[in-house]
Structure 1
Amino acid sequence: MAELVDLAGGIAELVRDGDTVALEGFTHLIPSAAALEVLRQRRRDLTLVRMTPDLVHDQLIGAGCARRLVFSWGGNPGVGSLHRLRDAVENGWPAPLEIEEHSHAGMANRYVAGASGLPFAVLRGYQGTGLGAHTDTVATVTCPFTGENLAAVAALRPDVTVIHAQRADRRGNVQLWGLVGVQKEAVLAATRSLVTVEEIVDELEPRPDAVVLPSWVVTAVAVVPGGARPSYAQGYYERDNDAYRAWDAVSRSRERFTDWLAEVS
């Protein structure tokens, strides 16, 4: 059964220096509070994994927590670039950052392979792109039945996956709904997992199209109301568009970012 923990204790126990850490959420239910706690605890040498890294990854990279980013798209959604990410890649500030880029389909299939206990996934993709030439986790395989050349992508198996969800029960069963990305697969693929939730309830009520993660696949659950802000949690609060616009100004300048970092650390 998943353990009920506080956020600081859960991050201290489950996220370790040098880990591969998946912080997943597809515009919705982004684990923002958990990512900020990783920053505050000054984790280092992390490989950060997410299909769509946004503000939280910009913050972690700018704070020097990351040495590598594995992703399929990165930006401040609706606003523009991630300036701390760009500074790290282009100028090595505050530390050099390695990047490994995939397509959305490639990343999703990598998580599925990891969740399934398979070494790789096969898909029709990457053709006509140069991505395969720049990463050793993309290869070409020949179908033994049709002779077709297909893309193969290595399984993703994070050391720890962190996600946010709407609620969990007291046994640690987690329920999330709305715009759900690859959170389920990312949890199932990981060695350890932490789920932050808006609330703990006595019993999970059935909901159409809800995803339920049983307690036996989740390592720990922490109650963090508002833990996805400035992204949104369907049924609880809306996206804070002003916060995304404000981050652009903060992140453009090393000096302004350093001031922000001092305030939140």
Structure 2
Amino acid sequence: MKEKVQTLNEAINLHISDGDSVVMGACLEPMIPFAAAHEIVRQDKRELTLIAPISDILFDMLIGAGKVNKITGAWAGNVSAGLGHNYRRAIEEDTPVSIKVDDHSNFSLGLSLLAGSMGVPFLPTRSLLGTGLLESNDALKVEEYEGEKLVFVPSLTPDVAVLGVQRADKHGNAHLWGNTGVAQEAAMASKKVILLAEEIVDSAEIESDPNRVLVPGFKVTSVVECKAFSHPSPMQGYYQRDHEFFHDYHKQTKTREGFLQWLEQYVTGVNSHQEYLQKVGYENIEQLKIKSKRLAAPVNYASE
């Protein structure tokens, strides 16, 4: 099998282009690929459509950096504080750019990606009936089927999915555990898949537990070994959430000038994810590491 290991710089440069639709943050609050978002800013990728149910401050940061022209999602902001200042400035003041929003619920966005992964044009649901989403997203259509009203949720087939995993092999086979959100649907629906892995392991380790594999390796475009790629979001079994970092972001980004100072400090003023971790402080990353163990029960895959 072909090896797919690349550096973060290579993966973003080769596989994300201006104008692409990109899934980032498919696991909701954990496993958010912040390292990839920072590299997108450094490489000045523009006019992106961001897709995710919840990506905490990742969306807000990319909006403030002027890299986004559309969001397809359920929520954008700062989970610790509620409000994303850059998102609000973009909506209310077109600062730094105007953005379009295709509203979804978490569930309907999952349906869109699932439909894309299945190769069907839409999937039906009752859950959006009576909601304002039917007014704010005109792609959601109410139709009748055998006398019953249903909402037809159109499929999504993003250009790229950037997903985080705990471990992967060099061929793109990977394990993801904890809250997987819509990561599998996003991977199967997208044309390209970039995996950010906390560690790259031997294929035998992945093969030992096939039920934990997120997506078959042949669907993966690139694998990046990137320690603490999800900081400040948590990673099940590896890192806790850096609450203080989120709180500081909320305070610093209340003004446009404050955000630009934050961006310079943590993103544009460093050359790599390694330098970002150095700026955050290795001692802080060490304190966030999970110290306890809560292991799953062993399973037996033997057939005879």
Per the alignment, residue 183 of structure 1 pairs with 183
In structure 1, the residue corresponding to 2:62 is in which secondary structure?
helix
1:259 is aligned, of 258, 261, 274, to: 261
Inter-partner Cα distance in structure 2 for 1:138 and 1:244: 33
Structure 1 segment 24-173 matched on structure 2, within 5 A? 24=25, 25-143=27-145, 146-173=146-173
Deviation (angstroms), 1:170 = 2.4
Deviation (angstroms), 1:180 = 1.1
The structure-2 alpha-carbon separation of the partners of 1:226 and 1:59, relative to structure 1 and needing over 3 Å to count, comes to same
Q: Which consecutive unaligned segments of at least 5 residues does structure 1 have?
A: none
Inter-partner Cα distance in structure 2 for 1:170 and 1:213: 14
In structure 1, the residue corresponding to 2:214 is in which secondary structure?
strand
Cα pair 1:67 1:96 within 8 Å, conserved: yes
> Letter of the aligned partner of 1:34 in structure 2?
A
> Letter of the aligned partner of 1:16 in structure 2?
S
Deviation (angstroms), 1:4 = 0.9
Inter-partner Cα distance in structure 1 for 2:3 and 2:220: 5
2:231 is aligned, of 229, 232, 235, to: 229
Inter-partner Cα distance in structure 1 for 2:3 and 2:120: 25
Cα pair 2:172 2:195 within 8 Å, conserved: no
Inter-partner Cα distance in structure 2 for 1:170 and 1:100: 36
Cα pair 2:173 2:213 within 8 Å, conserved: no
Inter-partner Cα distance in structure 2 for 1:2 and 1:163: 18
Cα pair 1:35 1:56 within 8 Å, conserved: yes
In structure 2, the residue corresponding to 1:252 is in which secondary structure?
coil
Deviation (angstroms), 1:259 = 1.2
The structure-2 alpha-carbon separation of the partners of 1:30 and 1:197, relative to structure 1 and needing over 3 Å to count, comes to same
Deviation (angstroms), 1:209 = 6.7
Deviation (angstroms), 1:211 = 4.0
Which structure carries more strand by proportion? 1
2:17 aligned with 1:16: yes
How many percent of aligned residue pairs carry the same amino acid?
36
Tell me: higher relative CO, structure 1 or 2? Use CA pairs within 8 A at least 6 residues apart. Answer: 1
The structure-2 alpha-carbon separation of the partners of 1:74 and 1:2, relative to structure 1 and needing over 3 Å to count, comes to farther
TM-score (ref. length: structure 1): 0.95
Counting matched residue pairs gives 263
The structure-2 alpha-carbon separation of the partners of 1:173 and 1:194, relative to structure 1 and needing over 3 Å to count, comes to same
Inter-partner Cα distance in structure 2 for 1:142 and 1:211: 38
Name whichever of 106-115 and 45-54 sits farther off. 45-54
Residues 4-46 of structure 1 show CA distances to partners (whole Å, capped at 9, x for unaligned) of 1100100001110011111023111111111111111111111
Cα pair 1:162 1:194 within 8 Å, conserved: yes
Deviation (angstroms), 1:213 = 1.6
Inter-partner Cα distance in structure 1 for 2:240 and 2:231: 9
Inter-partner Cα distance in structure 2 for 1:88 and 1:167: 36
Residues 44-82 of structure 1 show CA distances to partners (whole Å, capped at 9, x for unaligned) of 111111111321111100000001111112221132200
Cα pair 1:21 1:158 within 8 Å, conserved: yes
